[in-house]
Structure 1
Amino acid sequence: MSRLQKLLFVACGVFSGLAGAAEPFFDDPLRTEEALHLRGASLLASRVAERPCADVLPGRPLTAADVVDIALCRQPQTREAWAAARAQAAQLGVARAAWLPTLDARLATSRNTIDGRSSKQQNANLSLSWFLFDGGESSANEDNAAALLDMALANRDSVAQAVFLAALQAYYNAQATQAAVVAAQQNERSAQESLAAAELRYQVGTATPADRLQAQTAASQARLARQRAEGEARNAQGVLANALGFPAATGFTLVAAEPLGEVAAFQRDVDSLIRAALEQRPDLKAAAAQLRAVEASIEAVRAQGRPSVSLNAGPNWQRIEDDRSRGNSVGLVVNVPIFTGFENSYRIRAAQAQREVRLAQNERLQNQVTLDVWQAYQRLQTAAEAVQTTRDLLASAEQSERVALGRYKAGVGTVLDVLNAQSALAAARMQRIQSELDWYVYRAVLAQAMGALDDSLLAPAPERP
């Protein structure tokens, strides 16, 4: 091994050793990973930042907060969004690297034979290249990469909110189906009590066979409704398990749903909610960032038609048999594009057309956001009114059922009165459960429509006075 080869070998070894000793620095020297946390990412998205996920569900009953945390951690959509953001952060590093000089080393060895005579030739050189001025292309490319990173972070927030909402909806639905099972069991007990009363009256001769048959039919229907409610509850639990990233057959329990107290209508007018949504919806932020990226790309294309200046320098070594030589070179290279066959002109036209596309998409998205907030607001208002209405309905239905059953047992009422009252009571129970489910779900949907879906939604429900 020649002295020149030894020198280059040692230099490469030293550089590799330094890189190994300072691996964190060389892994991300331009600190692009920090941008994942510093460029406006939401607190909700930061909860899923590459933390280990549990392989099994907790042994205790799951709360809404547990469900959201597990779903955010285990769902592949959140990991995909995080990986996309990291990839774009790396692209920002690529754009920033254009500001730095590049250093290349080259080592070559060859043997030439001419007229039977062989000669060995070795040469090596280090080449430093540094763009001193590129017409603003590097700056525009960095702006483009930064805007695309903002878009990736906004998309990450949007995905986190979508996973949050899906998990919360599945949780509320599972709780509602469990409540429906309890209601169906109550309805079945009421039907059995009516059947027992009809049997007693039939035995003493104060009721007809038709009364007993009608009561038996109602009891069978109540039993069938209870069985279907139990099946729906099992299906809802499987859907929730899937939303958490576990097989549908995974067993777990949920905390008992607390009785929903008085729910007040929204005090803020819908116009203020729409304004808030236009400011904080992550998909709107992503669209705005994409527009900035297109505008930066227009400037980058324009810069390609401007002159550029670069610095080239470096030593070189050469050895041919016993003859050795070394030298150095330093120079400036000025590149002036004169004619590119109109390529740059059409690139600019294409980029400007893309800007018009993004502007139209932004306007369409803003209209959709306005509609989303309006619809979610109206549905929540309706659900809040329905909660109180179904509460009154349930109270009157319970009283009506007690009166009808009491009259029938006393021999002054008909079995049809009892069955009708019990049917109305069963419907009132289910309507009450559905109204509370709607209130919880539409509250979350409105928060998501505003881009404000976060931990505050997991606070306990209003207590009943």
Structure 2
Amino acid sequence: MKLKTALFAAALTLFCAGASSAGTLTLDDCLATAMKNNPDITAARESLNAERTTINQAAAPGRPQLSANSSYRRSGTGDDHEGSYSTGVSVNQSISDWGRRETRIKRARLSTEAAEADYEETVDLVVQRVYNAYYALNRAVRDVDIAQTRYDNYEKRLDWARSYYEVGTKAKIEVTKAESDLASSKLTLVRAQSNEELRRAELANAMGVPLMEISGVEDMLGYEDWSISLDDAVAGAMKDRPELVARRLRVESAAENVTLQMKGLSPSLSASAGYSFGNHSYFDHDQWNAGLTLSVPLTDGGLTKSMVEQARAQLRQAEAELVGLENSVTLEVRTAWEDLRQAKESLTSSQEAERAAKATLDLALGRYKAGVGDNLEISDAVDGYAVASANTVLALYDCKNARINLEKAMGGLSYGEQTAD
């Protein structure tokens, strides 16, 4: 199975912990930084490295086992005593254990492949979080622009109200209401700016560098049409979703464990050879030995039978968990697919509403500037345009997020060049 590792062009300028970015961060910059610094990926990678060692561990008993020993002993009574030496070397080789070793090796390989799928799933989760955080920051930046535009419109309206009041064409209440609306819009702007800073912190944390100062990011909220049928999305998830790949491998490993436990009373054949020398001095006597050993267990008090029953129960459990996971993944895909469909429809409606709100605002500003509009008309127009603009930004964000979530649910996030590890 191919492991996802990022090789971005921007990886040449990876960020160190606590470093600040001097320019605009691209999405690829963020992904490359996450691949290097996110602790979840580091932990998953080391877990995979540890799992890979189990293959050699399972194969080791089938390789020659060489040992050496040396000893000195002194014994006697009173003044009558003597010493003796013993030195030897021996080698043992398992010839056959009737398939137990091969089964253990196969299980270790299946477990390693499952760990590779687990690593891939961890990478997908981190990549999804980076995408979501990046888009959330894009949305927050646009929300600040909307709040700033709303504030500017109210500030312009206040200037007009004061000038009309000074010449006597508007009542004092026009100025008071304009000042109140401006103060309210200032609070909205401050909150939007605070939310933007929070989203910057969330993006830095998703990359695994929580203290990174992010000065700016590219605006990625532009709409790009993308669609896939629900059946194709579900089929893709069943084939490519890393959790399902890992769970199927563990079902296969559980089946191999049944085979292994059924060999509990199987015979084993091994060969051994050795050479030793020593006595009262190192080379007084020497001897060699060689032999074959066949071990045939006759009974183990029911241990093998119990182990087989346990292994079969674990296999049935693994199969049931696989079905449960397939059902959960199917629901996740359907939910993400429906979210994307709804987001697309919401975007169309919100864009139409924003265009109408902008036209209404232009008319209201023109009327108020000409001295024929009133407070209620312009307040409604300014707020209506701000709300419509925010809804459009939200719809764009939902489209981006829904697509990423659907791709994640299908098990195939795209994030730059990928290669086998």
If the length of structure 2 is used for normalisation, what is the TM-score?
Answer: 0.93
Aligned counterpart, 1:61: 24
AA in 2 matched with 1:185: Q
The DSSP-based 3-state class of the residue aligned with 1:121 is strand
Match of 1:254 among 216, 223, 245: 216
After superposition, the C-alpha distances for 1:398-442 in whole angstroms (9 at most, x for unaligned) are 110010121223233322011001110110111111111111111
Measured against aligned partners, the alpha-carbon deviations of 1:286-335 in whole angstroms (never above 9, x if no partner) come to 11111122122222222221011111112121222487111111111111
Percent of pairs identical after alignment?
23
In structure 2, what is the equivalent of residue 286 of structure 1? 246
The aligned amino acid for 2:124 is: Q
- C-alpha contact 1:44 1:454 (8 A) present in aligned 2: no
Partner of 1:424: 384
Q: Compute the displacement of 1:57 (Å).
A: 4.5
- 1:234 pairs with 2:197: yes
Contact 2:21/2:215 (<8 A) preserved: no
**Alignment check: 8 A CA contact 2:58 2:101 kept:** yes
Displacement of 1:370 after TM fit? Answer: 0.4
The 1-side partners of 2:40 and 2:168 are apart by 68
SS in 1 for 2:24: coil
Asked if residue 83 in structure 1 is aligned to residue 43 in structure 2, the reply is no
Aligned match of 1:216:
179
Structure 2 residue aligned with 1:24: none
Partner residue, 1:25: none
Structure 1 stretch 299-308 or stretch 149-158: which is displaced more? 299-308
- Distance in 1 (CA, whole Å) between partners of 2:338 and 2:417 is 19
Aligned match of 1:36 = none
1:156 aligns with 2:119: yes
1:443 matches 2:406: no
SS at match of 1:320: coil
Tell me if 1:102 matches 2:62: no
Match of 1:295 in 2: 255
Preserved contact between residue 265 and residue 384 of structure 1 (Cα < 8 Å): no
- Give the SS at the match of 1:131: strand
Structure 2 residue 131 is matched with structure 1 residue 195: no
Q: Secondary structure at the match of 1:452?
A: coil
Return the letter of the residue paired with 2:225. A
Cα drift, residue 195 of structure 1:
1.6
Residue 42, structure 1, aligned to residue 3, structure 2: yes
Match of 1:387 in 2: 347
Aligned residue for 2:214, secondary structure, equals coil
CA distance 1:44–1:378, change in 2 (3 Å)? farther
Aligned to 2:276: 316
3-state SS, counterpart of residue 284 of structure 2: strand
Whether 1:73 and 2:36 are equivalent positions in the alignment is yes
Cα separation, 1, equivalents of 2:43 and 2:37? 11
Would you say the 8 A contact 1:401–1:421 is kept in 2? yes
Query: Helix, strand or coil for the counterpart of 1:79?
Result: helix
Amino acid at match of 2:27: A
Residue type of the alignment partner of 1:302:
M
Matched residues, number: 414
* One-letter code aligned to 2:174: D
Letter in 2 for 1:275: A
> How far apart are the structure 2 equivalents of 1:282 and 1:224?
46
Q: Which has the higher contact order (CA 8 A, sep 6+)?
A: 2
Can you list the C-alpha shifts for 1:34-93, whole angstroms capped at 9, x where unaligned? Answer: xxxxxx13333788x9x9973435422110011111112101111111111111111111
Using the alignment, how far apart are the partners of 2:337 and 2:242 within structure 1?
19
Shift of 1:456: 5.7
Q: CA deviation at 1:164?
A: 0.8
Which residue of the partner structure matches residue 141 of structure 2? Answer: 178
Give SS of 2:5's match. Answer: helix
Residues 1:361 and 2:324 are matched in the alignment: no
Provide the rounded CA distance (Å) in 1 between the counterparts of 2:6 and 2:327: 25
Tell me the amino acid that sits aligned with residue 334 of structure 2: W
Structure-2 separation of matches of 1:423 and 1:457: 45
- Secondary structure of 1:334's counterpart equals strand
Contact 2:31–2:415 (CA under 8 A) maintained in structure 1: no
Relative to structure 1, the CA distance from residue 394 to residue 57 in structure 2 (aligned partners, 3 Å threshold; closer, same or farther) is same
Match in the other structure for 1:146: 109
- In structure 2, C-alpha distance between the alignment counterparts of 1:52 and 1:174, rounded to whole Å: 20
Distance in structure 1 (CA, Å) of the matches to 2:376 and 2:76? 115
Query: Could you list the per-position Cα deviations for residues 231-257 of structure 1 after superposition, in whole angstroms to 9, with x for gaps in the alignment?
Result: 111111112222222234x32222331
Mapped to 2, the partners of 1:433 and 1:135 lie a distance apart of: 66
SS of 1:455's partner is: coil
SS at match of 1:193: helix
Report if aligned partners of 1:119, 1:321 keep a CA contact under 8 Å in 2. Answer: no
Distance 1:214 1:66, change over 3 A: same
* C-alpha contact 1:45 1:156 (8 A) present in aligned 2: no
Q: 1:172 deviation in Å?
A: 1.2
Query: Against the structure 1 CA distance between its residues 377 and 70, is the aligned structure 2 distance closer, same or farther, given a 3 Å change threshold?
Result: same
Q: 1:323 to 1:437 in 2, by over 3 A?
A: closer
Cα distance between partner residues in 2 of 1:66 and 1:272: 31
Deviations 1:373-395 (A, max 9, x none): 11111111211222222222211
Which amino acid letter does the alignment assign opposite residue 432 of structure 1? T
* Contact 2:139–2:221 (CA under 8 A) maintained in structure 1: no
Which amino acid is the alignment partner of residue 3 of structure 2? S
- Write out per-residue CA displacement over residues 146-197 of structure 1, whole angstroms, 9 at most, x where no aligned residue: 0110111111001011111111211111121111111111110011112222
In angstroms, what is the RMSD of aligned CA positions? 2.2
Counterpart of 1:273 in structure 2 is 233
Task: Give the Cα–Cα distance (whole angstroms) in 1 for the partners of residues 138 and 365 of structure 2.
Answer: 31
Question: What's the offset of the Cα at 1:205?
Answer: 2.5
Equivalent residues of 1:60, 1:253 under 8 A apart? yes
